Amino acid sequence: MQHNKSTTNTTETGSALAAASTVQPPASARIIALANQKGGVGKTTTAINLATALAAVKKRVLLIDLDPQANATTGLGISHRIREQGTYSALIEGIPIQDLLCPSLVPHLDVLPATTNLLGAELELVSFATREQLLRRALMPLRSSYDYILIDCPPALGLLTLNALVGADSVLIPVQCEYYALEGLSQLMRTIERVRGLFNRALELQGILLTMYDRRNNLCDVVAEDVRHHFGAKVYTTPIPRNIRISEAPSHGKPVILYDTKCVGSKAYIELASEVLTQEKARLAAMKPHVTIAATDQTPHTLINKIIA
Ligand SMILES: Nc1ncnc2c1ncn2[C@@H]1O[C@H](COP(=O)(O)OP(=O)(O)OP(=O)(O)O)[C@@H](O)[C@H]1O
Ligand SMILES: [Mg+2]
Protein backbone atom coordinates (compact mmCIF):
# COMPACT_ATOMS: atom_id res chain seq x y z
CA MET A 1 0.00 0.00 0.00
CA GLN A 2 2.75 2.34 1.05
CA HIS A 3 4.50 1.58 -2.23
CA ASN A 4 1.47 2.59 -4.32
CA LYS A 5 0.90 5.71 -2.29
CA SER A 6 4.51 6.79 -2.70
CA THR A 7 4.44 6.17 -6.43
CA THR A 8 1.31 8.26 -6.76
CA ASN A 9 2.93 11.10 -4.82
CA THR A 10 5.84 11.13 -7.22
CA THR A 11 3.58 10.95 -10.22
CA GLU A 12 1.52 13.87 -8.95
CA THR A 13 4.61 15.87 -8.09
CA GLY A 14 5.96 14.93 -11.50
CA SER A 15 2.97 16.08 -13.50
CA ALA A 16 2.71 19.37 -11.65
CA LEU A 17 6.42 20.05 -11.92
CA ALA A 18 6.61 19.08 -15.56
CA ALA A 19 5.32 22.56 -16.31
CA ALA A 20 8.54 23.94 -14.89
CA SER A 21 10.48 22.27 -17.63
CA THR A 22 10.64 25.04 -20.19
CA VAL A 23 13.62 24.06 -22.30
CA GLN A 24 13.48 21.31 -24.91
CA PRO A 25 14.98 18.10 -23.52
CA PRO A 26 18.69 17.77 -24.24
CA ALA A 27 19.59 15.33 -27.01
CA SER A 28 22.34 14.10 -24.76
CA ALA A 29 22.21 13.14 -21.11
CA ARG A 30 23.99 15.29 -18.55
CA ILE A 31 26.25 12.90 -16.68
CA ILE A 32 26.91 13.99 -13.10
CA ALA A 33 29.27 12.17 -10.74
CA LEU A 34 28.56 12.54 -7.03
CA ALA A 35 31.99 12.37 -5.53
CA ASN A 36 33.90 13.04 -2.35
CA GLN A 37 36.59 10.73 -1.08
CA LYS A 38 35.42 11.44 2.44
CA GLY A 39 33.00 8.82 3.72
CA GLY A 40 29.50 9.45 5.01
CA VAL A 41 29.08 12.97 3.66
CA GLY A 42 25.77 12.34 1.87
CA LYS A 43 26.83 11.25 -1.64
CA THR A 44 24.41 8.33 -1.80
CA THR A 45 21.56 10.16 -0.09
CA THR A 46 21.99 13.00 -2.57
CA ALA A 47 22.24 10.65 -5.56
CA ILE A 48 19.02 8.85 -4.59
CA ASN A 49 17.00 11.94 -3.80
CA LEU A 50 18.24 14.17 -6.59
CA ALA A 51 17.51 11.31 -9.00
CA THR A 52 14.01 10.92 -7.55
CA ALA A 53 13.23 14.63 -7.67
CA LEU A 54 14.43 14.90 -11.29
CA ALA A 55 12.40 11.82 -12.24
CA ALA A 56 9.40 13.46 -10.58
CA VAL A 57 9.55 16.21 -13.19
CA LYS A 58 9.56 13.47 -15.84
CA LYS A 59 13.23 13.71 -16.59
CA ARG A 60 14.53 10.32 -17.69
CA VAL A 61 17.09 9.46 -15.05
CA LEU A 62 19.62 6.66 -14.66
CA LEU A 63 21.37 6.16 -11.34
CA ILE A 64 24.63 4.23 -11.51
CA ASP A 65 25.74 2.61 -8.29
CA LEU A 66 29.52 2.62 -8.52
CA ASP A 67 30.08 1.87 -4.85
CA PRO A 68 30.67 -1.74 -3.71
CA GLN A 69 28.73 -0.86 -0.52
CA ALA A 70 25.67 -0.78 -2.83
CA ASN A 71 23.88 1.76 -0.65
CA ALA A 72 22.19 3.50 -3.57
CA THR A 73 20.88 0.13 -4.77
CA THR A 74 19.45 -0.96 -1.43
CA GLY A 75 18.31 2.59 -0.60
CA LEU A 76 16.08 2.37 -3.65
CA GLY A 77 14.58 -0.90 -2.46
CA ILE A 78 16.35 -3.12 -4.99
CA SER A 79 16.94 -6.39 -3.17
CA HIS A 80 19.84 -8.85 -3.52
CA ARG A 81 17.50 -11.35 -5.17
CA ILE A 82 16.80 -9.31 -8.27
CA ARG A 83 20.30 -8.02 -8.86
CA GLU A 84 22.50 -10.79 -10.11
CA GLN A 85 24.56 -8.52 -12.31
CA GLY A 86 25.28 -4.82 -12.28
CA THR A 87 28.04 -2.23 -12.52
CA TYR A 88 30.78 -4.89 -12.27
CA SER A 89 29.47 -6.70 -15.36
CA ALA A 90 29.27 -3.44 -17.30
CA LEU A 91 32.85 -2.45 -16.43
CA ILE A 92 34.74 -5.73 -16.31
CA GLU A 93 32.70 -8.09 -18.50
CA GLY A 94 31.68 -5.51 -21.07
CA ILE A 95 27.96 -6.32 -20.87
CA PRO A 96 25.85 -3.45 -22.26
CA ILE A 97 24.34 -1.39 -19.45
CA GLN A 98 20.93 -1.60 -21.15
CA ASP A 99 20.92 -5.35 -20.34
CA LEU A 100 21.70 -4.79 -16.68
CA LEU A 101 19.22 -2.14 -15.63
CA CYS A 102 16.72 -2.55 -12.80
CA PRO A 103 13.56 -0.48 -12.71
CA SER A 104 13.01 1.38 -9.43
CA LEU A 105 9.79 2.18 -7.60
CA VAL A 106 10.17 5.72 -8.96
CA PRO A 107 8.69 6.19 -12.45
CA HIS A 108 11.32 7.41 -14.98
CA LEU A 109 14.21 6.28 -12.76
CA ASP A 110 16.34 3.28 -13.76
CA VAL A 111 19.18 1.88 -11.69
CA LEU A 112 22.38 0.12 -12.63
CA PRO A 113 22.79 -1.79 -9.36
CA ALA A 114 26.01 -2.59 -7.56
CA THR A 115 26.70 -6.22 -6.75
CA THR A 116 29.18 -7.61 -4.23
CA ASN A 117 31.74 -8.51 -6.92
CA LEU A 118 32.25 -4.77 -7.53
CA LEU A 119 34.53 -4.96 -4.50
CA GLY A 120 37.11 -6.77 -6.65
CA ALA A 121 36.77 -4.38 -9.58
CA GLU A 122 39.21 -1.86 -8.14
CA LEU A 123 42.01 -4.47 -8.43
CA GLU A 124 40.81 -6.09 -11.65
CA LEU A 125 40.65 -2.74 -13.43
CA VAL A 126 44.42 -2.39 -13.06
CA SER A 127 45.00 -5.02 -15.76
CA PHE A 128 42.97 -3.15 -18.40
CA ALA A 129 44.99 -0.92 -20.74
CA THR A 130 42.24 1.70 -20.86
CA ARG A 131 41.25 1.19 -17.24
CA GLU A 132 39.97 4.72 -16.67
CA GLN A 133 37.83 4.82 -19.84
CA LEU A 134 35.59 1.78 -19.27
CA LEU A 135 32.61 3.57 -17.76
CA ARG A 136 32.82 6.41 -20.27
CA ARG A 137 32.58 3.90 -23.13
CA ALA A 138 29.82 1.90 -21.46
CA LEU A 139 27.74 5.06 -21.03
CA MET A 140 28.09 6.33 -24.58
CA PRO A 141 25.15 4.37 -26.09
CA LEU A 142 22.89 5.56 -23.26
CA ARG A 143 23.37 9.28 -23.74
CA SER A 144 20.33 9.65 -25.95
CA SER A 145 18.06 7.57 -23.68
CA TYR A 146 18.30 9.73 -20.57
CA ASP A 147 18.20 13.36 -19.52
CA TYR A 148 20.36 12.81 -16.45
CA ILE A 149 22.78 10.06 -15.51
CA LEU A 150 23.92 10.27 -11.89
CA ILE A 151 26.90 8.27 -10.67
CA ASP A 152 27.19 7.46 -6.97
CA CYS A 153 30.91 7.14 -6.23
CA PRO A 154 32.61 5.21 -3.44
CA PRO A 155 34.44 7.11 -0.68
CA ALA A 156 37.89 6.84 -2.27
CA LEU A 157 39.84 8.36 -5.12
CA GLY A 158 40.60 4.97 -6.69
CA LEU A 159 39.97 3.58 -10.15
CA LEU A 160 36.20 3.38 -9.70
CA THR A 161 35.94 7.09 -8.90
CA LEU A 162 38.44 7.85 -11.66
CA ASN A 163 36.12 6.04 -14.11
CA ALA A 164 33.28 8.24 -12.90
CA LEU A 165 35.28 11.46 -13.33
CA VAL A 166 36.45 10.45 -16.79
CA GLY A 167 32.94 9.43 -17.84
CA ALA A 168 31.10 12.42 -16.40
CA ASP A 169 30.34 15.89 -17.70
CA SER A 170 30.44 17.33 -14.22
CA VAL A 171 31.00 16.61 -10.54
CA LEU A 172 28.57 17.41 -7.76
CA ILE A 173 30.37 17.40 -4.41
CA PRO A 174 28.40 16.91 -1.21
CA VAL A 175 30.28 18.46 1.69
CA GLN A 176 29.36 17.73 5.26
CA CYS A 177 29.39 20.84 7.42
CA GLU A 178 32.20 19.75 9.74
CA TYR A 179 35.73 20.68 10.70
CA TYR A 180 37.80 18.72 8.13
CA ALA A 181 35.50 19.47 5.21
CA LEU A 182 37.71 21.98 3.40
CA GLU A 183 40.84 19.88 3.75
CA GLY A 184 39.21 16.99 1.87
CA LEU A 185 37.77 19.40 -0.68
CA SER A 186 41.11 20.78 -1.78
CA GLN A 187 42.44 17.25 -2.35
CA LEU A 188 39.36 16.45 -4.43
CA MET A 189 39.72 19.67 -6.44
CA ARG A 190 43.35 18.78 -7.22
CA THR A 191 42.22 15.35 -8.42
CA ILE A 192 39.56 16.93 -10.63
CA GLU A 193 42.21 19.25 -12.10
CA ARG A 194 44.44 16.27 -12.83
CA VAL A 195 41.60 14.36 -14.48
CA ARG A 196 40.87 17.44 -16.58
CA GLY A 197 44.48 17.64 -17.68
CA LEU A 198 44.90 13.96 -18.47
CA PHE A 199 41.60 12.43 -19.50
CA ASN A 200 38.54 14.67 -19.59
CA ARG A 201 39.10 18.31 -20.46
CA ALA A 202 35.37 19.04 -20.46
CA LEU A 203 34.85 18.00 -16.83
CA GLU A 204 33.05 20.77 -14.94
CA LEU A 205 32.25 21.44 -11.33
CA GLN A 206 28.46 21.11 -11.27
CA GLY A 207 28.22 22.39 -7.75
CA ILE A 208 29.00 21.99 -4.09
CA LEU A 209 26.24 20.90 -1.77
CA LEU A 210 26.35 21.54 1.96
CA THR A 211 24.93 18.51 3.75
CA MET A 212 23.84 17.61 7.28
CA TYR A 213 23.56 21.28 8.06
CA ASP A 214 22.47 22.02 11.61
CA ARG A 215 21.88 25.67 12.29
CA ARG A 216 22.05 25.15 16.07
CA ASN A 217 25.66 24.20 15.59
CA ASN A 218 27.95 27.26 15.19
CA LEU A 219 30.65 25.19 13.52
CA CYS A 220 28.23 24.40 10.69
CA ASP A 221 27.87 28.11 9.93
CA VAL A 222 31.63 28.63 10.03
CA VAL A 223 32.23 25.75 7.61
CA ALA A 224 29.37 26.84 5.33
CA GLU A 225 30.77 30.39 5.23
CA ASP A 226 34.25 29.09 4.47
CA VAL A 227 33.01 26.89 1.62
CA ARG A 228 30.94 29.75 0.17
CA HIS A 229 33.93 32.08 0.47
CA HIS A 230 36.13 29.68 -1.52
CA PHE A 231 33.62 28.47 -4.11
CA GLY A 232 31.18 31.37 -4.40
CA ALA A 233 28.26 30.77 -6.75
CA LYS A 234 29.26 27.15 -7.22
CA VAL A 235 27.78 26.38 -3.80
CA TYR A 236 24.08 25.56 -4.00
CA THR A 237 21.88 28.02 -2.15
CA THR A 238 20.02 25.13 -0.53
CA PRO A 239 21.87 23.37 2.28
CA ILE A 240 20.54 19.91 3.16
CA PRO A 241 19.59 19.98 6.85
CA ARG A 242 20.43 17.20 9.26
CA ASN A 243 17.09 15.43 9.38
CA ILE A 244 16.10 12.18 11.07
CA ARG A 245 13.63 11.30 8.28
CA ILE A 246 16.53 11.32 5.78
CA SER A 247 18.43 8.78 7.87
CA GLU A 248 15.34 6.59 8.38
CA ALA A 249 14.36 6.38 4.71
CA PRO A 250 17.04 3.89 3.48
CA SER A 251 15.92 1.22 5.96
CA HIS A 252 12.52 1.40 4.25
CA GLY A 253 14.15 1.06 0.83
CA LYS A 254 12.83 4.45 -0.24
CA PRO A 255 14.10 7.91 -1.11
CA VAL A 256 13.15 10.33 1.67
CA ILE A 257 11.07 12.19 -0.92
CA LEU A 258 8.75 9.16 -1.03
CA TYR A 259 9.13 8.16 2.61
CA ASP A 260 8.04 11.53 3.96
CA THR A 261 7.38 14.03 1.19
CA LYS A 262 6.78 16.94 3.53
CA CYS A 263 9.73 16.68 5.91
CA VAL A 264 12.41 19.37 5.76
CA GLY A 265 14.88 16.93 4.22
CA SER A 266 12.57 16.19 1.28
CA LYS A 267 11.85 19.88 0.78
CA ALA A 268 15.57 20.60 0.66
CA TYR A 269 16.23 17.88 -1.93
CA ILE A 270 13.35 19.15 -4.07
CA GLU A 271 14.85 22.64 -3.84
CA LEU A 272 18.21 21.22 -4.87
CA ALA A 273 16.65 19.56 -7.92
CA SER A 274 15.08 22.87 -8.77
CA GLU A 275 18.50 24.55 -8.59
CA VAL A 276 20.03 21.85 -10.81
CA LEU A 277 17.23 22.26 -13.38
CA THR A 278 17.71 26.01 -13.41
CA GLN A 279 21.47 25.54 -13.80
CA GLU A 280 20.92 23.19 -16.73
CA LYS A 281 18.45 25.55 -18.41
CA ALA A 282 21.02 28.33 -18.21
CA ARG A 283 23.76 26.05 -19.55
CA LEU A 284 21.64 24.86 -22.48
CA ALA A 285 20.49 28.36 -23.28
CA ALA A 286 24.11 29.53 -23.34
CA MET A 287 25.11 26.61 -25.56
CA LYS A 288 22.25 26.98 -28.01
CA PRO A 289 21.14 30.60 -28.28
CA HIS A 290 18.36 29.53 -30.66
CA VAL A 291 16.61 27.36 -28.04
CA THR A 292 13.43 29.10 -27.04
CA ILE A 293 12.79 29.38 -23.35
CA ALA A 294 9.02 29.41 -22.98
CA ALA A 295 7.60 32.27 -20.99
CA THR A 296 6.42 31.12 -17.59
CA ASP A 297 5.28 33.01 -14.56
CA GLN A 298 6.38 30.17 -12.32
CA THR A 299 9.95 29.26 -11.61
CA PRO A 300 10.65 25.70 -10.48
CA HIS A 301 11.06 27.13 -6.98
CA THR A 302 7.59 28.61 -6.77
CA LEU A 303 6.04 25.52 -8.33
CA ILE A 304 7.78 23.23 -5.88
CA ASN A 305 6.76 25.41 -2.96
CA LYS A 306 3.14 25.20 -4.06
CA ILE A 307 3.26 21.44 -4.35
CA ILE A 308 4.84 20.77 -1.01
CA ALA A 309 3.00 23.52 0.86
N1 LIG B 1 20.87 15.29 5.84
C2 LIG B 1 20.99 14.19 6.58
N3 LIG B 1 20.44 14.12 7.81
C4 LIG B 1 20.57 12.99 8.57
N5 LIG B 1 21.21 11.90 8.17
C6 LIG B 1 21.78 11.91 6.95
C7 LIG B 1 21.69 13.04 6.09
N8 LIG B 1 22.34 12.75 4.94
C9 LIG B 1 22.80 11.51 5.07
N10 LIG B 1 22.47 10.99 6.27
C11 LIG B 1 22.82 9.68 6.80
O12 LIG B 1 24.24 9.68 6.97
C13 LIG B 1 24.79 8.44 6.57
C14 LIG B 1 25.79 8.68 5.43
O15 LIG B 1 25.08 9.18 4.30
P16 LIG B 1 25.39 8.66 2.84
O17 LIG B 1 25.38 7.16 2.83
O18 LIG B 1 24.49 9.34 1.91
O19 LIG B 1 26.86 9.19 2.68
P20 LIG B 1 27.94 8.74 1.61
O21 LIG B 1 28.82 9.90 1.38
O22 LIG B 1 27.31 8.11 0.45
O23 LIG B 1 28.71 7.61 2.43
P24 LIG B 1 29.85 6.64 1.83
O25 LIG B 1 31.04 7.50 1.68
O26 LIG B 1 30.01 5.57 2.88
O27 LIG B 1 29.36 6.11 0.54
C28 LIG B 1 23.63 7.56 6.17
O29 LIG B 1 23.25 6.77 7.27
C30 LIG B 1 22.52 8.55 5.83
O31 LIG B 1 21.23 8.02 6.04
MG1 LIG C 1 27.63 6.25 -0.44
Euclidean distance between CA atoms 26 and 60, whole angstroms: 11
Q: Please tell me if the CB atom of residue 176 comes closer than 6 angstroms to any atom of ligand 1.
A: no
Mean pLDDT across the chain, nearest whole number? 87
51 pLDDT more than 70: yes
Q: Which residue has the least CA distance to atom 25 on ligand 1? A: 39
Q: Please tell me if the CB atom of residue 238 comes closer than 6 angstroms to any atom of ligand 1.
A: no
pTM of the model: 0.87
Euclidean distance between CA atoms 22 and 213, whole angstroms: 31
Cβ pair 63, 47 in contact under 8 A: yes
CATH architecture of residue range(s) 2-308: 3-Layer(aba) Sandwich (3.40)
Q: Which residue has the least CA distance to atom 6 on ligand 1? A: 247
Euclidean distance between CA atoms 196 and 120, whole angstroms: 26
Q: What is the CA radius of gyration of the chain?
A: 18
Centroid of ligand 1 to alpha carbon of 291 (angstroms): 38
Q: How confident is the model at residue 264 (pLDDT cuts 50, 70, 90)?
A: very high
Question: What's the burial of 149, exposed, middle or buried (CB within 10 Å: 0-12/13-18/19+)?
Answer: buried
Euclidean distance between CA atoms 28 and 17, whole angstroms: 21
Q: Which ligand is located closest to the Cα atom of residue 42?
A: 1
Q: Which residue has the least CA distance to atom 11 on ligand 1? A: 247
Q: Which residue has the least CA distance to atom 3 on ligand 1? A: 242
Summarised one tens digit per residue, pLDDT across range 82-121 is 678 999 999 999 999 999 999 899 999 999 999 999 999 9
Question: For residues 289 and 223, which has the higher predicted lDDT (pLDDT)?
Answer: 223
pLDDT value for 290: 56
- Parallel, antiparallel, or unpaired: how do β-strands 148-152 and 61-65 relate? parallel
Residues facing residue 208 across a β-bridge: 173, 235
pLDDT value for 287: 81
Sketch the domain layout of the chain as residue ranges: 2-308
